Structure 1
Amino acid sequence: MTTSPFYLIVILIACLVLWRRTRSMYRPIKGKGGRLLFPILFFIPAIQLLVSSKVHLSLWSDLGAILLGLILSIPLIWTTRYEVREDQLIYAKKDFVFVVAFLVVLAIRFILRRHFGYMDAYTLSALFTLVAISYIVPWRIISFLKFRKIYRAAYQANYKA
């Protein structure tokens, strides 16, 4: 895979994520928040890449990728918040610092991809898939837990009223 189509695909996916996230600031989150966990399911096909015989990652590179992913998840977790608005529905808080944090995480991934460009394509893809899994999974799980906390508080307030 040449780098130009790869970067184009990544930029398109990033734009889609940002568009969806900023749109959710103006629309209530439906249901009990289960949809917040859907992006985790999108990584199921990526597991095949991680266990492929064409991938040659050491334990240290795996641990480094996981640690980097966990570090990259921190700003996303901090900037993802929810609120109950006057219509008694739950919305993502309007916080455009999230957009900046997301773009910084994306830029760090691009810079590191260039730095590790000497690796073969399969190993590099597996390494950055592991980084992505390591920041998206904790971010989405903690976002779900934050949503459920607000949801329970709003439900209890409505139930008592």
Structure 2
Amino acid sequence: MPTFSEDTLQLLSTIAIIIFAVTVIFVRLHAAKKPTSSKKILIPPLGMVTGFFMFVFPFMRIPLSYAVVAFLFGCIFSIPLIISSKMERVNEDVYLRRSPAFIIVLIVLLIIRLALHTYIESYVTIAQTGSIFFILAFGMLLPWRIIMFLKYRKFLHETNSPMRSVTES
């Protein structure tokens, strides 16, 4: 198996993160063109849970305090996503309106990661940096999707309610 220098690993991880961020942006923009459902809202965090298997490998493990801080920062980054996630009904379907906040948050996270990589690597390895940013991303995705699911259910209930047309008239 080939061994890579720290600089090569950093470059490869940066390229991978940029590719991942661009892919996520395109997937989200494409998904906004299709109706949403409970499954489409809840599957991403459930699918992401499998990523925690990375901690089976000792070189990926980080101190619990780092994980908690990363998760809490992720929760903070979820706030603009939560606020900007709006739904609309088109005929019988419910669509999520495109949110520029999602793209902005992803780009900000990428910039922070690139700007802080030297500082962070003085405390943890490149693999552990990936673990930290994975937990941060999960901390961003989980509350956003849970609240979006609750909003979705409330939206369905309100828009299907026969009292809605009477009270809004």
With normalisation by structure 1, the TM-score equals: 0.79
Superposed CA deviations along residues 74-116 of structure 1, whole A, max 9, x for unmatched, are: 112222221113x232111243343223322332333333430
Query: What is the aligned partner in structure 1 of residue 29 from structure 2?
Result: 22
The aligned runs of 1:116-127 (5 Å cut-off) are 116-118=120-122, 119-127=124-132
The AA in structure 2 aligned to 1:54 is: F
Query: What is the aligned partner in structure 1 of residue 92 from structure 2?
Result: 88
The AA in structure 2 aligned to 1:93 is: R
The AA in structure 2 aligned to 1:96 is: P
Instruction: Point out the structure with the larger helix share.
Output: 2
What secondary structure sits across from 2:99 in the alignment?
coil
| Structure 2 gap segments, 5+ residues each | none
Deviation at 1:51, TM superposition (A): 4.7
Question: CA RMSD, aligned part only?
Answer: 2.7
Cα distance change, pair 97–126 in 1 and its aligned pair in 2 (3 A): closer
With normalisation by structure 2, the TM-score equals: 0.76
Higher deviation after alignment, 121-130 or 93-102: 93-102
Superposed CA deviations along residues 45-77 of structure 1, whole A, max 9, x for unmatched, are: 321223543345333222211221111111122
Instruction: Select 2:141's aligned residue among 118, 125, 136.
Output: 136
The aligned runs of 1:100-115 (5 Å cut-off) are 100-115=104-119
Q: Is the contact made by 1:84 and 1:150 (CA closer than 8 Å) also made in structure 2?
A: no
Cα distance change, pair 96–45 in 1 and its aligned pair in 2 (3 A): closer
Q: Distance in 1 between matches of 2:152 and 2:25?
A: 19
Q: Which consecutive segments of 4 or more residues in structure 1 shift more than 6 A?
A: none
| Structure 1 gap segments, 5+ residues each | none
Which structure's CA Rg is the greater one? Answer: 2
Number of aligned positions between the proteins: 158
The AA in structure 1 aligned to 2:45 is: I
Cα distance change, pair 50–94 in 1 and its aligned pair in 2 (3 A): same
Q: Is the contact made by 1:72 and 1:135 (CA closer than 8 Å) also made in structure 2?
A: yes
